[in-house]
Structure 1
Amino acid sequence: MRAARITDALPMARVHVESWRETYRGLMTDELLDDPEFVDHRERFWRGALTDARYAANRVAVAVHDDAIVGIAMAGPSTEPDAAAGWHLHVLYVLASHHGIGVGEGLLDAVLDAGQESSLWVADPNPRAQAFYRRHGFVAEGASRAGSGVREIRMLRSPT
């Protein structure tokens, strides 16, 4: 794990898009997932997240294997009006080929301090991700929302 750099924006975008395709196919429309400009949109997002002063307090990390980025994560101060926690995990994606070997845990630890009070939104259904977050102290707190055709539930982790 290491901190993300601006030169990582394009490979981060590719991981972001590929992870969405692996995770959300069947939950989101193929039109969205297969949009030929999807990677370009995500690259612009990551360039902004890594350079815009509005995101300066965020922590952004990548997981690298054989010189290729295989996972991405970003957390920062919560901006939700009803924030139940001080920090929010905005992004954590790992390519399916690297699931189950500690990459997700390493990324989580890179962007959130152990036991740090935090929140996140996770797709529902997404039993693998929800189980991962439960193992790391997050619990579903009852809030839900829907966007881009995906229902999400909010999970919280209390400070330890």
Structure 2
Amino acid sequence: MKIREARIEDADKIAKVHVDSWQTTYKGIISESYLSNLSVEKRKKSWLWTFENLIVDEKIFVAEDMAGNIVGFSNGGRSRNNEFEHDGELFAIYLLKNYQRIGLGKKLFNSVVQSLKDNGYSKMMLWVLKDNPSVEFYKLQGGEVIGKKEITIGGDSLVELAIGWDRI
């Protein structure tokens, strides 16, 4: 297993992991009709746009299995939120279900943290659905809930938590 910086040619594989992990992680949290309509092709377009329009200090990392297949990803950069004093943000981190709970998530998380540190950031935050099982993972990494908001995904009203680190 290895972590490396992603390249634009990884966009289709990242999109596949993104859709697959949403469908397993959010089953029972987000409506089945929304999850079943997620499209790898649409996600790929979104990731291609992201690669072509990276924000300040944004990095994307992928986790590969021993055969070189992408099984997870993370990305982060300058915070997109003005409501908190945290200068860095973890935008996304997802792993295929079969690769969870073996240390890859922590490696993907730490890749973003190190990138932020290397670029002079001292605080980090992220947004996560309150019912996402990963909330506990973030707390184990030292994060604390610093806010919350209501959002709508596919017609479902959900609570999203802001988790922050005052020092990374």
| Paired residue secondary structure (2:86) | coil
Distance of 2:33 and 2:78 partners within structure 1 = 32
Q: Once superposed, which parts of structure 1, at least 4 consecutive aligned residues long, lie more than 4 Å away?
A: none
Output the TM-score relative to the length of structure 2: 0.86
Residue in 2 that maps onto 1:16: 18
Distance of 2:81 and 2:147 partners within structure 1 = 16
Distance of 1:27 and 1:107 partners within structure 2 = 24
Distance of 1:5 and 1:38 partners within structure 2 = 21
Distance of 1:25 and 1:72 partners within structure 2 = 20
Output the TM-score relative to the length of structure 1: 0.90
1:26-105 alignment to 2 at 5 Å?
26-35=28-37, 38-52=39-53, 54-55=54-55, 57-65=57-65, 66-105=67-106
Amino acid at match of 1:144: K
Paired residues in the alignment total 157
Name stretches of at least 5 consecutive residues in structure 2 with no aligned partner.
Answer: none
Q: Deviations over 1:22-44 (max 9, x none)?
A: 01112212222111x62111111
| Paired residue secondary structure (1:80) | coil
Residue in 1 that maps onto 2:131: 125
| Paired residue secondary structure (1:27) | coil
